[in-house]
Structure 1
Amino acid sequence: MATALASGLNAIPAAHGAIYPIPDPDGFYAPPGNLGDYAPGDVINSRVVPAPGFPGATVWQLLFRSTNSAAAPIAAVTTLIVPPGGGARPLVSYQPFVNSLGLQCAPSHSLFDGTLQEAPALNLLLARGWAVAVPDHLGPTSAYGAARMGGQITLDGIRAAKRFAPAGLGGSPVGLAGYSGGAMSTGFAAVLAPEYAPELPLVGVAMGGVPVNPGKLALQVGNTPHPLFGLGFAVAVGLEREYPGQMDLDDGLSPAGFALRSQIANACVQEIINAGAGHSIGEMFRPGMEADATNIRILHDNSLEIHPGVPRVPVYQWHGGSDQVPLDLAQRTAGRYCASGARVQFDVIPGADHGTAIFPGAANAAGYLSDRFAGIPAPSNC
């Protein structure tokens, strides 16, 4: 089967160099010419959008200034959902597991077209009276895998929501939440906040199924055909976009790898999974790619396991006991946070894999954040 699939990939014309997504045709996403004049988190543009999936809520989309991995200004978008009723309310920034390379897959689109799996669950947060911000945390080129940038976008999206006067969230306490690919950005937001956005009143973080080191995950899969190989391959494609002139896949791709990169350049998560299912590193890359010093540095820059920062707010973390994403790496990283003084509650969901661990952990996460908003001391099983 893998050979047949590879033959199909070889039929796709190979493109060389980083492939960027088709630009969003909606002019709302376009950065202004004076983007550098804005401070991180400043609101550049806003609009109200219809949202029948969130009954009674007012929904804005905010274009704001953030920063990419090269410390250059970028324009990013967050979708801010505020339930009915006035008064002070908490704000949760929720980072979905987008895991995609096409801009049409971003939450600001997929929240409303039925393709974001987590969208209905946001109503459980809104029912508590919380406002919810959902950032396009993969950035303006859908650079999947660039988790450090995702953390910066998340923090700047919170700044934007709090600075946006019509929402009335200036005094709101803030929680962070996300699962899987969304947890990568959530985790980086937590560890970057003390230096990048120390003014934000973060009270708690809830994250599950965290791939704390995508590079190690790829190496563990090795040359064994894997049903989720496409997601690991998409991380390389996304990082090549985010680090132009540094990460260059051309020297490492096989003919089938060139074809797969072209095939998924504008794909959403399920298309990526389908295209890569049953393939392996050895099929798509030439030997030695994993040892390239620049590639290793970039992967480390976006690895929570490697990043020296630690959260300064309480953390609830959960993971399936049978998760395909390594449990031991997540536990070791949480242990390092504990050793640095963080309060961490780490729950293992017995027998759950990466898909089935989502919902039991998410229910616990909502309760955990509710207690943090109420000022209840955080538990810890460090």
Structure 2
Amino acid sequence: MLVQGIAVAAALVAVMAAAPAAHAGAIYPVADPDGFYYAAGNLGGAQNGDVLNARQVPSPWAGATVWQLLFRSTSSTGVPIAAVTTLISPGPGPRPLLSYQPFVNSLGLQCAPSHALFDGSLKETSAFPLLLARGWAIAVPDHLGPDSAYGAARMGGQITLDGIRAVKRFAPAGLADSPVGLAGYSGGAMATGFAAAIAPDYAPELPIVGVAEGGVPVNPGKMAIEAGDSPQALFGLGFAVAVGMEREYPAELRLDDSLTPFGFWMRERMANSCVDDIISVGANHRISEVFHAGAENDPVLIRTFHENALEIVPELIRQPLYEWHGGNDQVPLGLAQYTAGRYCAAGTPVQFDVIPGADHGTAIFPGAVNAMNYLADRFAGLAPPSNCR
């Protein structure tokens, strides 16, 4: 504790030596040096899901072909954006198409799946050979968008759906007639859940046959408030959500008036961080260290967070859903169960499994095995199970 106190004190001295104006406003990640990620002048005239650029890249998976597609999507505020998905296929379609949204939970562009798939930092890729062996094609979108706006889950859902559209419109893949499944865990489940919920209005043409999501933070803002002003092991992730949301809503959401000197330091320190670094930097810190008292009552903050909270939004998942959660998860089980209950009440067949004794880190893999078997049954056209009450 003494070492931690010294580190915090040193950070405070450093930030107080600099004028806060040097850090004013949203801090965006360092630009990606790869020009592929930037759309040419055709962005405004394109439709959501239109392919703007494509390239084949070396495959780490034997027998699979890998493309990266740049496509048109839309930000939370309706601005056209260019986004990327990575398509991994064991061969030309038609074949089942799984859109998998990883738990990126990051603020740096180098952490995006289109990079992390190939540098060994995306842990979930260990399951991909098993999915390819089933004959599935896998689309992995950079669902945090071009500014790595972690927490902007509605935009993540839009990018996910437009990425599927792009894959289906990409003729060399032969997937135009493929059935679609959605899957994701933790931060990836936020994008997955929103993609499923908004699909009937946003992309009604997509044949989504099933959804699998685990460890879903259905309301990150409520989670932070309910945790109170106590040290939290995963505090960094909650703070990173605020930073990402400020990026997505820069004209509306300004953290400058709410941040303490240490909050200014932490925002800048995390601006290009991947998930492990974010967790490490924020570990065992608390709200009062980074935000002034009462900041949680800002009506703009509340509105933007509510727009990205699956617990609250009016859109409901209508497709057959498998959901799992650790019994000892730091992400509240009760909130996830309540939200799943909203889907049940609307008539959605939901199979909700609790992994006994598992926390947020250990629940992913046992649940993922069940999730993939569940989606295999949906691709096969079998009737979905449900334990709705």
Normalising TM by the smaller chain, what interval? over 0.9
* Residue 59 of structure 1: aligned partner: 66
Task: Provide the rounded CA distance (Å) in 1 between the counterparts of 2:64 and 2:224.
Answer: 41
Q: What displacement does 1:6 show?
A: 2.1
> Deviation string for 1:73-97 (max 9, x for gaps)?
100000000014x452100000000
> Deviation string for 1:108-155 (max 9, x for gaps)?
000000111111212211110000000000000000000000000000
Task: Provide the rounded CA distance (Å) in 1 between the counterparts of 2:106 and 2:233.
Answer: 16
1:206 aligns with 2:208: no
* Residue 277 of structure 1: aligned partner: 283
* Residue 52 of structure 2: aligned partner: 44
1:185 aligns with 2:191: yes
1:258 aligns with 2:260: no
Task: Provide the rounded CA distance (Å) in 2 between the counterparts of 1:8 and 1:31.
Answer: 42
> Deviation string for 1:238-262 (max 9, x for gaps)?
0000001111000000000000001
The number of residues matched between the two structures is: 380
Q: What displacement does 1:34 show?
A: 2.9
| 1:305 partner amino acid | E
Residues 278-357 of structure 1: matches in 2 within 5 Å?
278-357=284-363
* Residue 254 of structure 2: aligned partner: 248
1:127 aligns with 2:109: no
1:141 aligns with 2:143: no
1:104 aligns with 2:106: no
1:24 aligns with 2:32: yes
Which ranges in structure 1 are unaligned for 5 or more consecutive residues?
Answer: none
Task: Provide the rounded CA distance (Å) in 2 between the counterparts of 1:5 and 1:291.
Answer: 30
Residues 230-249 of structure 1: matches in 2 within 5 Å?
230-249=236-255
Task: Provide the rounded CA distance (Å) in 2 between the counterparts of 1:9 and 1:300.
Answer: 32
Task: Provide the rounded CA distance (Å) in 2 between the counterparts of 1:377 and 1:108.
Answer: 34
| 2:379 partner amino acid | F
1:34 aligns with 2:42: yes
SS of the residue corresponding to residue 188 of structure 2 reads helix
1:362 aligns with 2:368: yes
Q: What displacement does 1:9 show?
A: 2.5
SS of the residue corresponding to residue 82 of structure 2 reads strand
Match of residue 82, structure 1, among 76, 80, 89: 89
* Conserved? CA contact 2:25–2:255, under 8 Å: yes
> Deviation string for 1:301-342 (max 9, x for gaps)?
000000111122100000001100000000000001000111
SS of the residue corresponding to residue 67 of structure 2 reads strand
Task: Provide the rounded CA distance (Å) in 1 between the counterparts of 2:150 and 2:312.
Answer: 18
1:95 aligns with 2:97: no
> Deviation string for 1:20-63 (max 9, x for gaps)?
000101000012223110000000000001122x1110000000
> Deviation string for 1:264-293 (max 9, x for gaps)?
000000111111111100111001110010
Structure 2 vs 1, CA of residues 183 and 197 (structure 1 numbering), >3 Å: closer, same or farther?
same
Task: Provide the rounded CA distance (Å) in 1 between the counterparts of 2:74 and 2:6.
Answer: 42
Task: Provide the rounded CA distance (Å) in 1 between the counterparts of 2:228 and 2:180.
Answer: 39
**Bigger shift: residues 2-11 or 147-156:** 2-11
Task: Provide the rounded CA distance (Å) in 1 between the counterparts of 2:318 and 2:227.
Answer: 33
Q: What displacement does 1:8 show?
A: 3.3
Match of residue 9, structure 1, among 8, 11, 25: 11
Match of residue 80, structure 2, among 69, 73, 77: 73
**Bigger shift: residues 231-240 or 216-225:** 216-225
SS of the residue corresponding to residue 36 of structure 1 reads coil
| 1:40 partner amino acid | N
**Bigger shift: residues 6-15 or 92-101:** 6-15
| 2:166 partner amino acid | A
* Conserved? CA contact 2:318–2:343, under 8 Å: no
* Residue 164 of structure 2: aligned partner: 158
Q: What displacement does 1:201 show?
A: 0.3
SS of the residue corresponding to residue 312 of structure 1 reads coil
Task: Provide the rounded CA distance (Å) in 2 between the counterparts of 1:170 and 1:213.
Answer: 34
Q: What displacement does 1:3 show?
A: 3.0
SS of the residue corresponding to residue 47 of structure 1 reads strand
Task: Provide the rounded CA distance (Å) in 1 between the counterparts of 2:293 and 2:305.
Answer: 18
Task: Provide the rounded CA distance (Å) in 1 between the counterparts of 2:94 and 2:67.
Answer: 18
SS of the residue corresponding to residue 59 of structure 1 reads strand
SS of the residue corresponding to residue 271 of structure 1 reads helix
Task: Provide the rounded CA distance (Å) in 1 between the counterparts of 2:44 and 2:318.
Answer: 30
Task: Provide the rounded CA distance (Å) in 2 between the counterparts of 1:45 and 1:31.
Answer: 8
Q: What is the CA RMSD across the aligned residues, in angstroms?
A: 1.0
TM-score, normalization: structure 2? 0.96
* Conserved? CA contact 2:107–2:244, under 8 Å: yes
Task: Provide the rounded CA distance (Å) in 2 between the counterparts of 1:254 and 1:283.
Answer: 7
Task: Provide the rounded CA distance (Å) in 1 between the counterparts of 2:357 and 2:102.
Answer: 23
**Bigger shift: residues 107-116 or 217-226:** 217-226
Runs of 4+ off more than 3 Å: none
| 1:341 partner amino acid | G
SS of the residue corresponding to residue 210 of structure 1 reads coil
Task: Provide the rounded CA distance (Å) in 1 between the counterparts of 2:331 and 2:185.
Answer: 12
TM-score, normalization: structure 1? 0.98
| 1:303 partner amino acid | A
Which ranges in structure 2 are unaligned for 5 or more consecutive residues?
Answer: none
Q: What displacement does 1:222 show?
A: 1.8
Identity across the alignment (%): 69
